[in-house]
Structure 1
Amino acid sequence: MSAERSIELARVFKAIGEPVRLRLLSLIASHAGGEACVCDLTGAFELSGPTISHHLKVLREAGIIEGERRGTWIYYRVRPETLSAVSSVLTPAEVLA
């Protein structure tokens, strides 16, 4: 793995290393249709809307999720290529063979 790639992946691990963000990622990934409106996510937490938005921003900036504005709401979906890259780092070589 190159030094640049390790920096990119470390940012991903750091983003999902926070419990609220890990839960958000799980909720988005498991939501019907593979995407979730921010309005669907806020009820799962005892946190303010701005706090949830901050955590979603961290996940987005790390390249883990992407969002699309539809009217007044933003719908988030997981970027599978990022999760695949994380998975490949965690999978032992003998499993890949």
Structure 2
Amino acid sequence: MSKQIGSNFQLTHHAIQRMQQRGISMLQIEAVLTYGRTIQEGRVVRQMIGRNEVADYRREGINLSAMQGVHLVLADDGSVITAFRSQSLRRYRAPRRRPVAWR
């Protein structure tokens, strides 16, 4: 069961509870959905704002510093399943490539 918020997205009951518990506002959710990095993981999509997004958009005059570290997990229908904060994005970095040894 999900609740339509505005015309842009839906929040599940679980997501609403977690937002309240973790102090994440609707403004932050909208910012993550608009400016966040998107990563596909199986049937869910993760969207987050990290240090790189804050720096990139700062150059364009958009201040996302209050949203840094906010993560969303979205269902395949686009509804927000849960929201949390984490400063660690190590899991989502592209793997380092080893140089090819030419022989």
Length-normalised TM-score, structure 2:
0.31
Structure having the larger proportion of residues in strand: 2
Higher helix share: 1
Structure having the higher Rg: 2
